[in-house]
Amino acid sequence: DAKTTQPPSMDCAEGRAANLPCNHSTISGNEYVYWYRQIHSQGPQYIIHGLKNNETNEMASLIITEDRKSSTLILPHATLRDTAVYYCIVREDRDDKIIFGKGTRLHILP
Amino acid sequence: NAGVTQTPKFQVLKTGQSMTLQCAQDMNHEYMSWYRQDPGMGLRLIHYSVGAGITDQGEVPNGYNVSRSTTEDFPLRLLSAAPSQTSVYFCASRLRDRRGEQFFGPGTRLTVL
């Protein structure tokens, strides 16, 4: 069963902020939200994760709604190198498995 | 650190042949896992291991065997290759206490004729 829903594709102009949504309406209290991305033909790359609070690192920001039923990954100044498939994953901290969905294909337009 | 390494990068097999995909990591990660990715699809978990001597099945384990005799290595064996196993295979590893932060290898592109 898919725990997350993401749009299949999105476009963003180079230099603008890319906002990638993820719906996880059935998330439980001890489940984290993780984001990965996969640049063409490469292995996925971890971006960021969070539980309740918004998080920021050198790559992106993660905004989680107060009810935790959805989140948004923000790439503040998108570049052509950010063109990739972005995966939103929900999982419990104790889970040994990490299950990927189909993700969102982000196109950065010059 | 070399990170997660996979060999070979490319492989072509005939139906019924067997082979082993190699995966190694030098980060002393307890957890290792194997995924497959078919064209235009997301990743699907095949098998995973939480430590040496311990393995478990993922979403699509049929047709694949694994073992974990050392912390560093986690080979994936195809006993009798089938065209349906044509895919890109990714190996990943992580620390026990960094549960969601997996490091992925560059992948092995396998074609079964």
Q: Provide the chain B residues 25-54 that lie in CB contact (below 8 A) with chain A.
A: 31, 33, 35, 41-45, 48, 50
Looking at per-residue confidence, does B42 or A107 come out higher? A107
Q: Is A94 on the interface with B (CB under 8 A)?
A: yes
Name residues whose C-beta falls within 8 Å of residue A84's C-beta, 6 or more positions apart in sequence.
A37, A38, A39, A40, A105, A106
Averaged pLDDT, A6-27: 96
The residue whose two tokens read 């009798």 is B80
Average pLDDT over residues A19-44: 92
Which chain A residue is nearest to residue B94, measuring alpha carbons?
A: A96
C-alpha B44, offset from chain centre: 11
Nearest to B4 by CA among B95, B76, B80, B72: B72
Cross-chain Cβ contact B59/A94 below 8 Å: no
Q: Which residue has the higher pLDDT, A80 or B42?
A: A80
A50-77, pLDDT tens digit by residue?
999 899 999 999 999 999 999 999 999 9
Predicted confidence at residue B31, as pLDDT, reads 92
Of A46, A85, A94, the CB nearest to B102: A46
Q: Is the predicted pLDDT of residue A91 greater than 90, yes or no?
A: no
Of A14, A8, A34, nearest to A95 (Cα)? A34
The rounded radius of gyration (Å) of the Cα atoms in chain B is 13
End-to-end CA distance of chain B: 36
**Binary contact (A99, B48; C-beta < 8 A):** no
Interface test with A, best of B43, B68, B87, B89 (most A CBs within 10 A): B43
Residue A2 confidence class, pLDDT cut points 50, 70, 90: low
How far is it, in rounded angstroms, from Cα A106 to Cα A43? 16
Query: Is the pLDDT confidence value at A108 over 90?
Result: yes
pLDDT greater than 90 at residue B2: no
User: Which residues on chain A are in Cβ contact (under 8 Å) with B44?
Assistant: 100
Distance CA(A102)–CA(A88), nearest Å, equals 9
Q: Residue B113 and residue B100: Cα distance in Å, rounded? A: 36
B99 and A93 within 8 Å at the Cβ level: the answer is yes
Structure tokens at B105: 């290898």
Structure tokens at B58: 């993922």
Shortest alpha-carbon distance between residue B62 and chain A (Å): 17
Give the number of A-B residue pairs with CB atoms closer than 8 Å: 61
Residue ranges with strand state E in chain A:
9-13, 18-23, 31-38, 45-50, 55-56, 61-64, 70-75, 84-92, 104-109
Looking at the partner chain, which of B41, B45, B105 has a beta carbon nearest the beta carbon of A97?
B45
pLDDT at B101: 83
- CA distances in angstroms from A76 to A36, A37, A82, A92, B2, listed in the order given: 16, 15, 11, 28, 30
Residues B6-21, mean pLDDT to the nearest whole number: 96
Average pLDDT over every residue of A97-104: 85
pLDDT at B98: 66
Q: What is the pLDDT of residue B99?
A: 63
| Lowest mean pLDDT segment, chosen from B78-82, B89-93, B98-102, B106-110 | B98-102
Q: Which of A56-60, A95-99, B28-32, B105-109 shows the lowest mean pLDDT across its residues?
A: A95-99
What are A55-64's contacts with CB under 8 Å, separation 24+? A60/A35, A62/A33, A62/A35, A64/A33
**Tokens 């019924």 identify what position?**
B16
The answer to whether A96 contacts B105, with C-beta atoms less than 8 Å apart, is: no
pLDDT for position A95? 74
